[in-house]
């Protein structure tokens, strides 16, 4: 919101803060010119500013408007995701290009997007990888692109990909199976799991969440224990993932404990040791906690890597200590126990403030738990203010029903940052109407579009037609998320007005729904006037009949179904004469 005002008045771009630079917009970029945008992009690299896909797509257009700059390496690496090796040819080789792409944030592009798939194909061609075997040197060049290699590459490369795969955020099911197969075979530079050390586990720590019982049982227990002691603190693994290892180290058959063994008495020192889970079977833990008060230790020990069976014991102890309900200060610490927490229990929690709601909604809640939590918060008379809305909006906005949505005050919406694009159409409609009222006093300011853009999925056609006259430079992604009936009501000239500088991008999406359906309802002659080679419109001699697609009152707004009826004059005339 502040970017537009600041960028025009600040002579020294290096003085701009990280948060202001993150507000980069296409509209402002067009006003300040190519040279200043290039200076801005270099500052972004120095300050490690992370931009979104739409921002980078727009930035790369401005940076390369007058050709590819020779100092392309001075720009954010993420920009390279929106170029190609041929664009990079003037400043380096394709190997250098893909080495830099491999260090970029590949997740800016959707995993199944054609752009991301094309990058991988071009990288394999550049490195002359014709088969499915990738050596260690090429794996290092591919970097994050290794995360997109199919299971056949993983199986064929004999473990040379494991180090890079360990850096990946997620895998497809077939990739997971291939990784486990390669590791189990022992045909890697790391050897068979039975000879691994704590250092080996540290090097492959990103893959540990994939290890099932068949792999974990082969790894020496002393290596697992040493890794937990020396390396687990710095690993990316969650408490739950560490608990899987703890469970592997505990005896598989638990003897019923007649009492707490003398050498396992729980002392202050034991409670302060985060490796405590390794020393107690569930039965021993239950027996040894019998006469121990945990009231001053629950917050701490719930961060330890206890197995599920051990956590059940701790929840029993917690319920015993607080029969009338948990204290408010402890509730945000209950994440490990959520698996065993019912909706009925959540409906009794004392949620005393928006900040507390925000902390609780950061927990890994199931949808029904989050829904119960939000309703409990409201039932206690707490406000749906900006803090509460931002907390809800991160992951749970679409859970709100019409009753809760209508409780949102427009003034609170002014200070919140919501994105209802994944929600149902009724939710989008309600929030758009509220957002329009909330930002009505800024309707004639450039910042209005930035504020209203996340809510446009609920905008009627008349409001979109008004926006088409305001030079808003809407992205095609936003256009595709508009209400179906609203999009279908727009003329090609109005779509051109909305997209502005982004009009050329429409061609890339012309075969995707709902752009494809919109094109099919337009005359080809109208589409030709856009000058971007859109095809698929209605030819002369066709009539477009638009009929309403009736839906139940509670469903999305009326859509349209386009039927093309080709009138053949000669046949029609013959039919009339015969009649």
Question: What DSSP string describes 439-464?
Answer: TGGGTTSTHHHHHHGGGGGG--HHHH
Mean pLDDT of 237-249: 90
Quote the longest CA-to-CA distance of the chain. Answer: 108
94-101 long-range contacts, CB within 8 A, separation 24+ = 94/122, 94/126, 95/126, 95/127, 95/141, 97/126, 98/122, 98/123, 98/126, 98/127, 98/141, 98/142, 98/145, 99/141, 99/143, 100/73, 101/77, 101/143, 101/145
Other C-beta atoms closer than 10 Å to the C-beta of 223 total 18
Residue 546 pairs with which residues in a beta bridge?
562
Residue 569 main-chain phi, psi, to 5 deg: -55, -45
pLDDT 10s digits, 129-151:
999 999 999 999 999 999 999 99
List Cβ neighbours of 268 (8 Å cut-off, separation of 6 or more).
none
**Residue 510 burial (C-beta neighbours within 10 Å; 0-12, 13-18, 19+):** middle
pLDDT in tens, 252-269: 765 666 789 889 999 999
Question: Distance between CA atoms of 550 and 239, rounded to whole angstroms?
Answer: 50
The pLDDT, as a whole number, for residue 24 is: 86
358/355 Cα distance (integer angstroms):
5
| Cβ-proximal residues to 475 (8 Å cutoff; 6+ apart), any chain | 26, 54, 57, 58, 499, 502, 505
Confidence of residue 476 (pLDDT cuts 50, 70, 90): very high
Asked if 390 contacts 408 with a C-beta cutoff of 8 angstroms, the reply is: no
Residues 576 and 572: their CA atoms lie apart, in Å, by: 6
pLDDT at 546 over 70: no
Q: What is the pLDDT of residue 552?
A: 42
- Quick: pLDDT tens for 188-238: 989 999 999 999 999 999 999 999 999 999 999 999 999 999 998 888 888
Which of 308, 317, 315, 307 has its CA nearest to residue 287? 317
* Per-residue pLDDT band at 153 (split at 50, 70, 90): very high
Q: What is the domain partition of the chain in residue ranges?
A: 1-128, 238-341, 459-538
Evaluated on CA atoms 499, 433, 427, 554, the torsion sign reads: negative
CA distance 9 to 11: 6
Lowest mean pLDDT of 18-32, 430-444, 539-553, name the range.
539-553
Q: Are 285 and 256 in contact (CB under 8 A)?
A: no
Q: What is the mean pLDDT of residues 41-58?
A: 90
Whether the model pTM is above 0.85: no
Quickly list DSSP for 277-299.
GGG--HHHHHHHTTT---TTTHH
pLDDT digits (tens, 9 = 90+) for 422-465: 999 999 999 999 999 999 998 888 789 989 999 999 999 999 99
Taking phi over 0 as left and psi of -120 to 50 as alpha, with beta for the rest, 255 belongs to beta
pLDDT digits (tens, 9 = 90+) for 403-428: 999 999 988 999 998 999 999 999 99
| Average pLDDT over the chain, rounded to an integer | 88
Q: What is the pLDDT of residues 260-307, one digit of tens each?
A: 988 999 999 999 999 999 999 999 999 999 989 998 899 999 999 999
């Amino acid at each position: 919101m502040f970017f537009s005002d600041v960028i025009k008045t600040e002579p020294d771009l290096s003085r701009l803060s990280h948060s202001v630079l993150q507000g980069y917009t296409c509209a402002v970029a067009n006003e300040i010119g190519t040279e200043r945008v290039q200076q801005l992009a270099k500052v972004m690299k120095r300050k490690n500013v992370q931009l979104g896909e739409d921002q980078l797509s727009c930035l790369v257009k401005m940076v390369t408007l007058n050709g590819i700059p020779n100092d392309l390496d001075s720009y954010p690496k993420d920009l390279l995701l929106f170029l190609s090796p041929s664009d990079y040819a003037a400043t380096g080789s394709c190997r250098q290009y893909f080495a830099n792409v491999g260090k970029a944030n590949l997740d800016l592009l959707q995993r199944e997007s054609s752009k991301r798939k094309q990058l991988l194909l071009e990288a394999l061609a550049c490195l002359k990888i014709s088969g499915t075997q990738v050596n260690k040197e090429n794996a290092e060049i591919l970097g994050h692109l290794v995360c997109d290699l199919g299971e056949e590459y993983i199986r064929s490369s004999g473990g040379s990909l494991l180090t890079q795969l360990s850096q990946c955020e997620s895998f497809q099911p077939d990739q997971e199976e291939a990784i486990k197969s390669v590791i189990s075979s022992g045909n890697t530079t790391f050897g068979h799991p039975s000879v691994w050390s704590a250092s080996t586990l540290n090097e492959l720590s990103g893959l540990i969440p994939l290890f099932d019982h068949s792999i974990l049982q082969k790894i020496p227990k002393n290596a697992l224990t040493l890794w937990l002691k020396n390396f687990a603190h710095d690993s990316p693994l969650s408490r739950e993932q560490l608990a899987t290892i703890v469970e592997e180290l505990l005896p598989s058959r638990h003897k019923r404990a007649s009492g707490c063994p003398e050498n396992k008495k729980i002392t202050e020192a034991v409670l302060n040791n985060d490796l405590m889970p390794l020393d107690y079977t569930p039965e021993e833990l239950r027996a040894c906690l019998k006469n121990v008060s945990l009231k001053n230790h629950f917050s701490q020990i719930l961060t330890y890597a206890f197995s599920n069976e051990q956590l059940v014991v701790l929840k029993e102890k917690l319920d015993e200590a607080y029969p009338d309900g948990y204290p408010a200060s402890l509730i945000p610490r209950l994440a490990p126990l959520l698996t065993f927490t019912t909706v009925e229990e959540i409906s009794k929690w004392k949620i005393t403030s928006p900040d507390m709601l925000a902390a609780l909604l950061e927990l890994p809640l199931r949808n029904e738990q989050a829904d119960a939590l939000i309703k409990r918060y409201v039932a206690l008379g707490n406000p749906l203010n900006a803090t509460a809305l931002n907390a809800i909006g991160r992951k749970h906005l679409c859970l709100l029903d019409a009753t809760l949505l209508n409780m949102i005050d427009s003034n609170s919406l002014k200070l919140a940052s919501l994105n209802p694009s994944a929600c149902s159409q009724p939710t989008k409609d309600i929030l758009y109407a509220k957002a329009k009222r909330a930002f009505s006093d800024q309707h004639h300011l450039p910042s209005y579009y930035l504020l209203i853009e996340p809510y446009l999925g609920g905008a009627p056609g008349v409001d979109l037609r008004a926006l088409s006259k305001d030079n808003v430079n809407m992205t095609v992604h936003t256009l595709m998320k508009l209400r179906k009936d609203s999009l279908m009501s727009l003329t090609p000239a109005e779509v051109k007005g909305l997209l502005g500088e982004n009009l050329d991008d429409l061609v890339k999406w012309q075969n995707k729904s709902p752009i494809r359906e919109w094109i099919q309802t337009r005359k080809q002659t109208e589409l030709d006037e856009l000058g971007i080679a859109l095809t698929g419109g209605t030819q002369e001699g066709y009539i477009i009949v638009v009929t309403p697609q009736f839906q139940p009152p509670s469903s999305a707004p009326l859509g349209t179904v386009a039927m093309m009826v080709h009138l053949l004059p000669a046949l029609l005339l013959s039919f009339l004469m015969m009649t």
